[in-house]
Structure 1
Amino acid sequence: MTISGIDRLHSQLSKLEDMFPGYVTEIVEGNIVMNPVRPFHGRTIQSFWGIVEPQLPAGWVVVTDVAFPFDDAHEFCPDIAVIPGEAEAENRSAYAPDLIEFVAEVVSPESIRRDYELKPRWYASRGIANYLVLDPLKGHVVTMWNPGPDGYLGRDTIRYGPELIVHSPLGKLTVPTSLLPVDPKAPHPA
C-alpha cells in the first residue's frame, strides 16, 4: 500500500475515532480495533512523556497515537514513539515505522495480547532497539531490547518503584518508575 493509500485509510479510521470519542483505533491482523482510553492509560502516557522528552538528544521528539502502518494488515498507533523532529514537523496522519527509534505501549485490559505478544514481533522486525510495556494493571514495566526477526531477545520485568535505566541509541534514559500510576487493583509486591 502506498503512503497516499495509507493516508486515505487512516483518514477513514480518524473518522471512526471522531464518531467514537474516547477510543483509539488501530488495524491489527487485518481487523479494525478500537480501545477505550482510561484515565490511568492517559496519565501513564503523560507521566512517561514528561520523564523521557527532556532526556532526548536534540532533533528527536515524542509523539503519541500517530499511525505507523507496518503493512496492509497492521497499522499501530503507539502510545509513545520517538521519531526525528523533522519528520514530526511534517504534521502528517501516518509515518513510516522505520522512523521510530524508541517505542512504549501502555497496557489496558483490551490490549494485553497485542502489547505483550503481537507488537514486540512487529517492532523488533523493524529494528526498533527498545520497546517498553508500561503496565498500570500489574504495576510493572517490561523492557525489551536486542531486536530480531521473531521478537526481542532481551527482556526484563521491573516492578514500579526503582529507577529504570534504558540504554538506547538515543542515549541513557532514566525512568523513575515510582512516578508512574498504578491501578489500585494491581497486585502489589509482598
Structure 2
Amino acid sequence: MLNSEFGPTSDAVLTKARDLADRGIALSPDQATAHRIQSLVRLNMREHEAAEHHLRIALELNPGDADCIEQMGHLLTMRCRPLDALAWPARAIRINPLHPHWYQYDRALALYMLGEYRTAAEALELATRPRPWIRTRLAACYAQLGEMQAARRQTALISADGSNFSPLDHARTGIPFENASDAEHLADGVSLALG
C-alpha cells in the first residue's frame, strides 16, 4: 500500500482511489492513464491479476507510455517474475532518459530478487532523498553482500530519523508481493542487516 512517499495507505483510501479510477475509465475509456492508475491501486490492494489486466489495457491504449512500460516491470516483480521484469524499465528509460527516480527503485527491487545485490545497491544509491524504505532495501543489499558495516550504517540512519518505521514490517508486509517467499527473501536481508 503506497502514498506519495511510498508509505502505508489505508484500505479506505485505496477503495476510494479504486472507485475514482473506475470513474475515470468510464468517462474516458480510450485513455491509458486511468487504467495505469487502476493497476497501481489494484496492485496495492493485492489484487495482482486485476492489476495486470488494467496495465495491459493501458499498454494497448498507449504502447509508448514510459510510465506504463516501467510499471509493468514493477508489476512483474511483484508477481514473482523479476527476470521478465528487467526488460521493462530498460525500455522505459530508453523512451524517457530523464525518467522519474522510481524507475530505478523498481529496477533495484527486481535485481535484489534475482540476487544481483551489488547492482541493486548501485541503483538505490542514486536516491537524492533516501527515505527509510530505500535505506531498508539498501541495507538488505549490503547485508546480502556481507558488507555489514554499510548495512548497519543504513539501519542506523533509519533509526536516527525518529520515525516509527519498521524495516522488517516494510519487508514482510509493506510491498505488495504476490508470493510470501519474495517478502521473506527481502526480510532475510533486512534481518541480517539488523543483526
TM-score with structure 2 setting the length = 0.30
Structure of higher CA gyration radius: 2
Query: Larger strand proportion, structure 1 or 2?
Result: 1
Query: Larger helix proportion, structure 1 or 2?
Result: 2
